[in-house]
Structure 1
């Protein structure tokens, strides 16, 4: 049973969220302030976190930033704020998406289910059957999320790792920027799919011997990108 942490100080809202999620067979725990939520989020082995922005003790932005330093599980912000700058700030701190109050409980459950499935697709499923991927000198361990190039470990940010892992799981398949943006950042993520090109370039700088003439992540002009198999 997948575990979800709700960090919400409004007892009525937290109860509604919990009840609907439990009806859909999720195990749910509630933390009523930011500090308690951060502590549980860091040590509770959860699969997804629903995080309110306006919290006593520590606001949702600060909680999100600290959580992202330690974990890459999905974080959905629940907010009554409608200003785009607040949403962009939350996404910039590492939240995967946001849900505006008031919300439909069925929409909440659907959004939770979608992000859990996406996260499992990126870090589980096929990957559990094949915990280590290797092409040439690039070796990626899907259990430890560590990447090595010619025996030397390289550090990738969360999205860089997810993008590299996805491409290595689909060797020689060509994906457009739009497809990669949808797969990695999500259908409702806010931003420009040009960010895909930025992340591709960062990965190339870390894994390619000559980033200007990449051996592994190749551009297929007019179509997108592929990770070239042997």
Structure 2
């Protein structure tokens, strides 16, 4: 994921103008705010990819604004401050900032730090996306994008409902899922019967039965089902 929109929050207009010039040369679209209230308003209106945040501002300071933002968003934040003490740097990073830059840094260095955070964020986003895309337990593998299931690299042909059931079970390995939870997740209604759930689970079990190296779907009497690893030996 590449950054497009960058928000600079600083009450010094000359710093905003200088940073805007350098960032626009790198093809970023730059937004600016002079205080926390303006910044929060912009964040509600525009999809911001990265925030460069001053600490000393009138009203709500940068530390408090960072804390507010982190309650709602993981958008990368770089503090740009005149504060140089280690205590301030530690505080900023502890609050969830991705970097802390002292204002004595040159604009080109600040741009380089933005690009470094951009690269780290892209790697993190890709890894998180890949982790969500494929679920794997022992030799059982489910791919969310292709909606395919494999056991030891051998594809298993499942219906849409069977795939969704297995997906739900794998997401909640070891957890007892009630009939009501399964119906709400898979059918999203209040008319599907428990019997219908049992039939679809039985069909899913039948297709997975030839494979002894994968977790089993265990019936929890009068409650629902639980996916858990087989006991070896």
User: TM tier, shorter chain?
Assistant: 0.5 to 0.7
Contiguous gaps of at least 5 residues in structure 1: 153-208, 210-230
Structure-1 residue corresponding to 2:134: 133
In structure 2, the CA distance between the partners of 1:134 and 1:111, relative to structure 1 (3 Å rule), is: same
Q: Report Cα offsets for 1:21-71 as digits up to 9, x if no partner.
A: 001000110001112113323542111100000112210001000111111
Q: SS at 1:86's partner residue?
A: helix
Contact 1:73 1:119 in 2 (8 A): no
Q: Report Cα offsets for 1:62-115 as digits up to 9, x if no partner.
A: 100011111112100001011111111111111111110122111011110110
Aligned pair partner of 2:173 in 130, 150, 166: 150
Structure-2 residue corresponding to 1:99: 101
Aligned pair partner of 1:24 in 19, 23, 26: 26
In structure 2, the CA distance between the partners of 1:72 and 1:151, relative to structure 1 (3 Å rule), is: farther
Structure-2 residue corresponding to 1:66: 68
Q: Tell me how far apart the structure 2 counterparts of residues 66 and 132 of structure 1 sit (CA, whole Å).
A: 30
Q: SS at 2:57's partner residue?
A: coil
TM-score, normalised to structure 1's length? 0.57
Q: SS at 1:95's partner residue?
A: coil
The yes-or-no answer on 1:35 pairing with 2:58 is no
Contact 1:52 1:78 in 2 (8 A): yes
Worse overlay, 34-43 or 126-135: 126-135
TM-score, normalised to structure 2's length? 0.56
Q: Tell me how far apart the structure 2 counterparts of residues 54 and 141 of structure 1 sit (CA, whole Å).
A: 46
Q: Tell me how far apart the structure 2 counterparts of residues 139 and 70 of structure 1 sit (CA, whole Å).
A: 31
Q: SS at 1:88's partner residue?
A: helix
Shift of 1:127: 6.0
Q: SS at 1:57's partner residue?
A: coil
RMSD (Å) for aligned C-alpha atoms: 3.0
Contact 1:41 1:49 in 2 (8 A): no
Q: SS at 2:8's partner residue?
A: strand
In structure 2, the CA distance between the partners of 1:130 and 1:92, relative to structure 1 (3 Å rule), is: closer
Contiguous gaps of at least 5 residues in structure 2: 146-169, 176-227, 229-233
In structure 2, the CA distance between the partners of 1:39 and 1:141, relative to structure 1 (3 Å rule), is: farther
Aligned pair partner of 2:4 in 2, 24, 33: 2
Structure-2 residue corresponding to 1:84: 86
